[in-house]
Amino acid sequence: GLIAMLLASKAPDLVSGLILVNPASPLPPRARISPGMIMRLVIPALPVVGPASFRTWMRAVPPEQQVADTLQFVAKYPERLPKEYVEVAVELARQRMDRIDWAPNTFAEAAQSIGRTLTNRSSFKAMVRHIMAPTLLVHGDSDQVVPPLAADYLSEIRTDWTYHVFSDTGHVPMIECPDEFLALVDSWMTANAIAA
């Protein structure tokens, strides 16, 4: 989502419509970061500690448990996710084990880049205000990765965007409630005359 927003603001001619699903966004002023978010997202972004802790976790935790832990964090009801999705996620975790020498550093670098972008609230707001494409902002009300307050804050910056919150949904509404998600996207694209 953040990369799509950056592209839409810098190269508006390339983006005819934007669908943001639980995008990284700053929290409103004076909002507090939860301890769970610090453990999951802030510590892994630390230059030396982050890659080392991620590497240790990858070596110590079997792929099946890595996926279970991650789904517990990103989905409101991980037990409801399609079995096929979980199987694919486990296979991807196994493949990541083969890349253990570079995956932790890449994850930390991405987290640091996101952190730098989000901590400069005025720059972020200016970037968001430069987006010209019609935009659908979607969020889950139980997202532990990007708190719903962040989406509320983003929707206050851009009151012209269509904003939809899925109830009883975490960070991955396209997987948690795919039929409702696709219906919303299809309806929004039709209303905005955006071709797939």
Q: Taking 70 as the threshold, does the pLDDT of residue 152 lie above it?
A: yes
Predicted confidence band of residue 33 (pLDDT cuts 50, 70, 90) = confident
The stretch 28-32 carries a mean pLDDT of: 78
Q: Does any domain span residue 122?
A: yes
- What 8-state DSSP symbol labels residue 165? E
Beta strands in 59-104 (DSSP E): none
| Per-residue confidence (pLDDT) for residue 57, from 0 to 100 | 83
Split into its structural domains, the chain has a count of 1
Q: How far apart are CA 195 and CA 190, in angstroms?
A: 8
Query: Is 166 in a helix, a strand, or coil?
Result: strand
Residue-range definition of the domain harbouring residue 57:
2-191
Predicted confidence band of residue 100 (pLDDT cuts 50, 70, 90) = low
Q: Which amino acid is at 30?
A: R
Question: Residue 135 belongs to a domain with what CATH number?
Answer: 3.40.50.1820
45 vs 73, residue with greater confidence = 73
Report the chain's mean pLDDT, rounded to a whole number: 89
Q: Does any domain span residue 196?
A: no
Predicted confidence band of residue 32 (pLDDT cuts 50, 70, 90) = confident
Q: Does any domain span residue 156?
A: yes
Give the whole-number percent of the chain exceeding pLDDT 70: 95
| Per-residue confidence (pLDDT) for residue 65, from 0 to 100 | 95
Q: Does any domain span residue 45?
A: yes
Q: Taking 80 as the threshold, does the pLDDT of residue 20 lie above it?
A: yes
Instruction: Please tell me the pTM assigned to this model.
Output: 0.86
